[in-house]
Structures are given as C-alpha cells and as structure tokens.
Structure 1
Amino acid sequence: MKLPLTPPDQNTFLQRLLSQQPEQLAQLLMTGIGPCDAKGQYLHWDKLRHLNPPAGMTPELHWAAIKMARKKLSRSVPLYNKNQQAFSYCIPDTLMRHLLWISEQATGSIEADGVVRDTKIRQQYLISSLMEESISSSQLEGASTTRRVAKELLRSGRKPMDHSEQMIVNNYRAMQFIREYRYEQLTPLLVFELHRILTEGTLDAADQDKAGQFRTSADDICVFSQDDVLLHVPPKSVELEQRLQAVCDFANALDETDDQFIPPIIRAIIVHFMMGYDHPFVDGNGRTARALFYWIMSRANYWLMEYISISRVIRKAPARYMKAYLYTETDDNDLTYFLDHQLEVIREAINDLHQYLSRKMQEQRESENVLNRSSLQGRLNHRQRALLEHALKHPGHEYTIREHQTAHDVVYQTARTDLMTLSDHFRLLRKHKIGKKDVFIAPADLNRIISKMPA
C-alpha cells in the first residue's frame, strides 16, 4: 500500500501568500469554495492534487480554500493523538445526507414490511446476522474458513478445529456479550472482558496470557500493510490506561446538552476509530473496535444495526478502510475521512439487508403457499414451519437438534421435540443415526410429500 501524501502545511502556505502573493490571499479570502469538491466528495490532498482546480487557482490554493471552509465547520472532541493534539470532525452536506438516511432507516422503516416486526422471525434474523458479523469480522482479520463451514460451526455448537474457527466462535460469543450488557456503562473492565472473549485461544503461544490486558512496552506493536509498509505507530503503552478511560467516557456521554450534542452514530464511529488508532492490545484490536461500534449503537437504540454486518462490507475493500485511518492521521486529525467511509459502509450494509429481506420474503411466501395448501395448516409451530420452509428450498440438507436449538434460541428438549415430531409423526424428515447423534435430512420430494399428506 502506498502511503498518502501529507497535505501542505496551511500556516506556512498562508504566510508565503501574504509575503509573496497578497492578491492570491485576497482571492482566497473571497472564494465561495466549500469543504468538498464539485462532486460533493470530502477528498484528501493526496487525491485532490490530481484534479483540475477552479479557474485561476493552483492545486495548493484550491486546497487552502477547502481547508478554510472545513475549519469553519470543524468541532473538536475530547480525544487526542499521541502528540496530545485534539481530533476533530465536521459534517458537510454529504455526511448530513448519510446521517439522515441512516437514522430514518434504523428507526423502523423496515417494520412496515411485517417481516422483522414479527418477534419470532425477528429472532431468526438476529441470530443469522450475529453469525454473519462474527464470520466477516474474523475473515477481515485473516480467518480462512468459508461462510458455509463457519455457519455450520456456529449452528452445530461443535468444538472449533483450528485458529480460524476459534476466531469465529469468539466473535459470535462477543456479539452475544454485547447484547447482554448493552445498557451498561462502558468501562475499561468491560472492554478487557470483550477483548478476552474475542481473543481466547487465538493469540500466539507467547501472548496467551495477554487476552484482556494492555500491551506492554516489551510488545513491539506497529501496523503494517500486507506488503510490509509501516502504516501506523500507536501511542506508548504507558499512556493506554488514561487513553482507554477517555474513550469510555466519550462513549458513555450519550445524553449531552444540545450545544454539545454528537449524534450517536458519529460517537460510535469515533470510538471505532480510536480503538484502532490506540491499538491497546497485542492482537484483536480491529475486532474489538468493530464490536464497540455495535455496543454504542445498541445502547442508543438503533435496533436495525443488530441486523447488519459492517465487516462484510469492509472486507470487500480493506484498503479503503485502512486509508480512511491514514487520511485522518495525515491531515490535522480530521476524523471526517473515517466518518465518511464508515457511513458509506453502513449505508451499503443496510441496502444489503433490504435486498436480503426482499429475497427472504419472496422465498417465505412461496414456501408458505405450499404449507398453507396442505393439511399441515395450523399443526406446526413457527420453528417447524421455518425449518420446512428452508427444507423446501434445500433438498438433502441435514439438520441437527443442536443447530435447530441455536437457530431459534430454545432449550435442547424443545428443539428435539420439534425435529422428532417432523420425522417420527409427520414423516417429513428422514432421521439417521451418525454415531450417537441424530441427523434429520430433507427429502428431495418434500414438496410432493407435503401436498399428499392426509388431513
């Protein structure tokens, strides 16, 4: 990865204009240029310098005008870089549109479809989404397991077989931990526990005792690209206790007065950034940062965020994710670059959810038509119907009691009764014994069997 070029120093540039080209300084002060380019993009100098500037301006003068516009909108936050310089952000029109769109989507518009509003179906989608984020976040950090195998791992509850599978199980447990403790105040101890859950059994042999603990001065922690380019040197370990407390205080300050208000989604993204910037642990910093994003959004009652996977979107273009960090670090601690990137990620993840729900609704209607025309109408519970709807689309699929238990968050005996009834009473699934475990298989002609069932 090529490092972005650091922008020209604003003060040096303005002093040069004042002494050598005062007429250009006057032009700069009179310009109506805003914080974004003509297309509404919040560009870093590394990109802007390649564009044609407005007539009569050099790229440097264009950049100076943009920076002046940004400073007028800029707001600092009580978080600092390793040189004790405050981070700041601004919300230009482009970001405001993202914020309004996401807020509208995340406060209940999907409920009108009736799919997520149904509590029983909602629980199924929630469990599926927790699995999706757990898998994608692990893959972003190097886990090599396929989604199919990973979902089988989580649904079956079997013991992880390697490092990649352990990462996925840990991420899933962490997402469940967040749901359980989401209304608690965020503290360093809770962050340590979250990190311990995320990294249990996945750290190098020499670091096994560092799960849920700060890195030390003996840990040479730097961030490198895949081609070994040094991207970031985090703050010193001696500063981490104070820095993590400041991040927790910032995360907890959701109920501020109007003149200090920071939208919860902005606050959550900034916490995400700070955990990546500080890199307080020997490993698992990215997973912890993304998990804390979900924590804050959940505390702020953005219920839809429980159903989306930001890691799956980030994984499509990990270089853009890293560049968003680098743009902030190289341009006066301007968090707007990272905010812009993450808001786009969230929008894409929400759009993916819409498409997923539309597809699921269509599949559900088709399967319901088969079941509603049969004599099974009114004789199955919602879990059994959901399994048969899946089986109608996946002939030959194998189901186990543990998978059914996990998918619907019920006790083992309830899951066993569901499957035994479908196999032994209704004869809709074929039951086989593999070792000591019962496996239930969807027959290829399930549609025909259902349609010919006697009343």
Structure 2
Amino acid sequence: MEDKRDMNTVPVTAQFHDLIQSMELHQYVAFFDSVDTGRHGFDCQGNYLHWDSFVPRAKDFNRDEKALAYLVLKKQRNLKPHGGLVDEHGVPFLFTDQGLAAKLHQISQLETFEHLKVGEIDKRIHLVNGVIMEEAISSAQLEGAATTRTVAKKMLETGREAENDSEKMIVNNWNLIREAEHHKNDPLSVDLILFFNKTATIHLNENGHVAGNLRDDVVSVSNTMTGELVHEPPMHTQVEAMLQMLCDYANSEHTTGGNFIHPIIKACVLHFMIGYIHPFFDGNGRTARALFYWYMLKSGYENFKYISISALLKNAPTQYMKSYLYTETDENDLTHFVDYQLTIIIKALNRFTDYIHTKVSELENAMNILRTSPLYSELSLPHITILEKALKNPGRIFIVKEVESDLSVSSTTARGYLDKLADMKLLMKTHLSGRTYGYMSPADLKERLSM
C-alpha cells in the first residue's frame, strides 16, 4: 500500500491558476472540453478515480498536462462541502454523488431480497445468526483476531466461554452487532459511541485502551506491513468536539430537496469519520463498522442485518486503507471512501445471494430425504432445521444453548425440540457434564428417517 507521503504529488486546487497562467482563453476552453468526467474520472467498472489511478489511464494528456487535467476533472466533479463536516483544521470534507447513482440503484435492487423469494420464517431460522456470526468473526479478524472461522462459529453457537483475547474480541463483536440493532431508534450521541466502543473492547487491554474511554494522548496509524505512517488523527483535545459534530450530522434531517443525503451515503460517511477521528486507542474499526450498521438499520434497511461487509474488507485490507488515504490526500474528498464502500456493499449483497442459493439447495436436498420419511408429518420447521444440519454432519453434537440461539427461541422451547427428536430416535441424547446434555446426530440418520 502507498504511504500517505507517497501521495503528496496529488494536484491541489491552489495550483490551478499557476497551471493555466500561460494559456490563452481559447486554449483553456479547448483543454477544459478535452477532459471528460465519465471517461477520465472512472475506470471501466465505474469506480471513482484518485490521482494515482487517473495518471496511468489519462493517456490523452502528456506528463506536463496531467496535473491540470486532474484539476479540471475536480472542477467538473462539482464537489461540495458535505453536511457541515470539517477536519481538525476547519477544512470542509467534500463530496459529489456524480457517478454513484448506478451503484446506489444496484444496492436498492439487491437489498430487498425480492429476487431470492425468502420468507420471513426462513430468514429468522436459516439466516440471521449465521450471517451475524460471520460479521462478528470477520470484523474481529480484520482487527487482528487470530482464530479460525470454524472454531469461532462453534464458540458462538454453543455459548462457550472465550479462552483468549481473539475469542473475546469475537464475542464482543457478536454483542456489538446486536446492540447496534437494539439502539437503532436512539439518536446518535457521544455516549452511544462510547457505549459501542465499550461493547467492542470490554475485557481486552490493548494499546493502553480503557473500554469506552476516549484517548487522552496523540496516536498515529501505521501500515502494519511496512511500519510507515499512513494517518495522523486529530489531537486528543479535539476528539470530543469532532464526535459531537458527527452526532449533529447523523441526527440532522437530510431528507428533502437540496438538503437530501442518501442514507447509505450517510452510513458510509459515519464509518469513515470514526476511522479518521480515531477517538480511541483501540476498537476504532469495530466501532466504525457498528455505526454503519446502526445507521442502516435506523434508516429502515432491515435486511442489512444479514450482510457481512467485514468479510470482504478482511480479504482486501490494503484497498480498505487506501480508500481512507485517497480521501485524506485528495483535499478531503469523501467520495473516494464512499465509492469503495458502495462497491463492498454490492459485493456483500451478491455474496449473500450466493449464500442463499447454497442454503436453498442444501435445504432442498435435506427436504427430499425428510419428505419421503414416514415421520415427516410429525416434524415442524424447527425440527427440520435441526435435522438438516444433522444430515450434513453425522456425529455432530447439538446443545440447548446453540438451538436457542440459532432459532431465536427460549431454552425450554429449544430443549423441547431436541428431546422430541431424541424420543423419535433421530438424535442420540447423551450426558456431557453437570446438568448439560448433548444430542448427537447418528451416522445412520438417513436410514432412521426411512424406518
């Protein structure tokens, strides 16, 4: 990844008049017309270009012309101050929605899930916890948690106590995502941001951080691979005021006319600003992503509880960091970060579509076995859901807490489901320890279903 200082060659608006001084008016007009926002401002996938991506693509201009061409492009982009947000020096953050409509339209089509024909019961039973668990695990791994997805998922499913800091981080993230939904109707306040951070970092002690407390000293963000400085956040004395500014932005109505800001864009900006302000010694990324989910759910995008963006950010951490750097090095142009986040959201929605198709296929295979069973008429959907997993995993042991979490039911109801399957000889009830019993999937489950 480029160091922030490698981007100091990005042309800035203050250079514009110096670059056109030697031009006649007609020459400037001709040059201005030769710069095309669509052709020079975006790549073939429709991604918003920063200077370092613009340079190799701007083959219409020689080396001496490229700086001016980029500044003309910036004028054509019609960047405006965004929502009253400013950096620590009072310089406005800028934004343009030019060129983003296609991505927002694609998100609006995908996020309804109408193309999937998924019913509410299917969502509740098959989707919710599985995807939220993935987001909790991936977000923690993005921040450095070192554990496998399989081990982490099993820990969350069974309610096992976390055994190390990596597992504690994952449990915290699991709680954080649920808290974001719980508080979706609350206005944003500094106290709520502190609460989200406390939830993300409780029982952890990294970088001298006290869970839920603002940093009281300077901090820097470095490239973990090279050790080079990539971001110097505002002084700690400015943090609380900047967070209050962010709360005012989140709580302001941007719903009409020239004041309109698309809710998805606001959610992305909230994500960016926490990373930029870096108000904590630890947990900034997790807190930022929680605010993204909080605002999406607050804005009525209920299906975003099923979407894992961290899984994709984890797979491309360099691009994620670049999206921050591109904004900071290009005169606070938030569009760079927002555009990247929209791309990630689209990928996450498409990934979810693939996930559902796989689940539907797996369920159909299990249902084909179950439908032909003489016992089928005695089974409810929760029983079928448990047996679906059992058919795919002979020898798997279910416990009450896992089923309680997976089906969003009480422990009494979960135990009832498992006991009935044990009574039907479809699961084998076995004593584990104390008062805890397990229910094992027998290797001959298919044969038992056909008896």
TM over 0.5: yes
Could you say what the CA RMSD is over the residues aligned between the two structures, in angstroms?
Answer: 1.9
Q: Cα deviations across residues 209-252 of structure 1 (Å, max 9, x unaligned)? A: x2111111xx3311011121101111111111211111112112
- 2:56 is paired with a residue whose SS is coil
Change (3 A) 1:428 1:240: same
Compute the displacement of 1:29 (Å).
3.4
- Asked if structure 1 preserves the Cα contact closer than 8 Å seen for 2:207 and 2:282, the reply is no
CA distance in 2, matches of 1:61, 1:86: 22
Change (3 A) 1:79 1:348: same
Query: 1:167 maps to what in 2?
Result: 169
Identity of aligned residues (%): 36
Q: Cα deviations across residues 280-322 of structure 1 (Å, max 9, x unaligned)? A: 0110000000000000000111122111100000011100000
Compute the displacement of 1:25 (Å).
2.6
Query: 2:429 maps to what in 1?
Result: 431
Query: 2:363 maps to what in 1?
Result: 364
CA distance in 2, matches of 1:105, 1:426: 41
Change (3 A) 1:62 1:32: closer
- 1:88 is paired with a residue whose SS is strand
Q: Amino acid of the residue matched to residue 71 of structure 2? A: A
- Asked if structure 1 preserves the Cα contact closer than 8 Å seen for 2:19 and 2:68, the reply is no
CA distance in 1, matches of 2:102, 2:125: 31
- Asked if structure 1 preserves the Cα contact closer than 8 Å seen for 2:12 and 2:331, the reply is no
Query: 2:97 maps to what in 1?
Result: 91
CA distance in 1, matches of 2:416, 2:266: 46
Q: Does 1:34 align with 2:37?
A: yes
Q: Does 1:101 align with 2:106?
A: yes
- Asked if structure 1 preserves the Cα contact closer than 8 Å seen for 2:218 and 2:235, the reply is no
Compute the displacement of 1:275 (Å).
0.3
Q: Structure 1 stretches (4+) deviating beyond 6 angstroms?
A: none
Change (3 A) 1:223 1:304: same
- Asked if structure 2 preserves the Cα contact closer than 8 Å seen for 1:400 and 1:440, the reply is yes
Q: Amino acid of the residue matched to residue 187 of structure 2? A: Q
Change (3 A) 1:27 1:305: same
Query: 1:153 maps to what in 2?
Result: 155
- 1:431 is paired with a residue whose SS is strand
Q: Does 1:49 align with 2:65?
A: no
Query: 1:279 maps to what in 2?
Result: 278
Pairs within 5 Å for 1:238-253: 238-253=237-252
- Asked if structure 2 preserves the Cα contact closer than 8 Å seen for 1:126 and 1:307, the reply is yes
Query: 2:76 maps to what in 1?
Result: 69
- Asked if structure 2 preserves the Cα contact closer than 8 Å seen for 1:254 and 1:264, the reply is no
Query: 2:350 maps to what in 1?
Result: 351
Change (3 A) 1:16 1:179: closer
Unaligned runs of at least 5 residues, structure 1: none
Query: 1:125 maps to what in 2?
Result: 127
CA distance in 1, matches of 2:61, 2:249: 43
Please report the TM-score for the alignment, with normalisation by the length of structure 1.
0.92
CA distance in 2, matches of 1:38, 1:130: 33
Query: 2:202 maps to what in 1?
Result: 200
Compute the displacement of 1:52 (Å).
4.2
CA distance in 2, matches of 1:174, 1:37: 36
Q: Does 1:299 align with 2:298?
A: yes
Compute the displacement of 1:46 (Å).
1.7
Query: 1:215 maps to what in 2?
Result: 215
CA distance in 2, matches of 1:206, 1:342: 30
Query: 1:328 maps to what in 2?
Result: 327
Please report the TM-score for the alignment, with normalisation by the length of structure 2.
0.93
CA distance in 2, matches of 1:37, 1:381: 52
CA distance in 1, matches of 2:303, 2:29: 49
Query: 1:2 maps to what in 2?
Result: 2
CA distance in 1, matches of 2:208, 2:13: 46
Q: Amino acid of the residue matched to residue 448 of structure 2? A: I
- 2:215 is paired with a residue whose SS is coil
CA distance in 1, matches of 2:43, 2:337: 20
Query: 2:17 maps to what in 1?
Result: 14
- 2:244 is paired with a residue whose SS is helix
Q: Cα deviations across residues 139-179 of structure 1 (Å, max 9, x unaligned)? A: 00000111111111111112110000000000001111112
Unaligned runs of at least 5 residues, structure 2: none
Q: Amino acid of the residue matched to residue 56 of structure 2? A: H
Compute the displacement of 1:254 (Å).
4.4
Q: Amino acid of the residue matched to residue 219 of structure 2? A: I
Query: 1:386 maps to what in 2?
Result: 385
